[in-house]
Amino acid sequence: MTLQHTIYDLNTGETTVRDYTKDEIKAYEDERKNNKEVNEAIQAEAEAKATAKAALLNKLGITAEEAALLLL
């Protein structure tokens, strides 16, 4: 896969396409790696919260709907 940068000039209607440089490819790959790590951390946090919520509801012996009614 070749990464390319596309520029479209609205004034002239001209499209310019060029391949990424080595530095741009490295920056792109670094950003993808960082995004993956951030997404994994967000997912792990969401799973931990869901587990804690389920444990609390189970401990209280109520459903999520019943807990929502208590907050009204």
The tens digit of pLDDT for each residue in 17-71 reads 999 999 999 999 999 999 999 999 999 999 999 999 999 999 999 999 999 999 8
Average pLDDT over residues 6-16: 96
pTM: 0.60
Q: What CA–CA distance (Å, rounded) separates 32 from 12?
A: 33
Q: How many CA atoms lie within 13 A of 29 on its CB side?
A: 10
Q: What CA–CA distance (Å, rounded) separates 11 from 57?
A: 60
Instruction: Supply the pLDDT for residue 1.
Output: 75
Q: By the 8 A CB rule, do 15 and 6 touch? A: yes
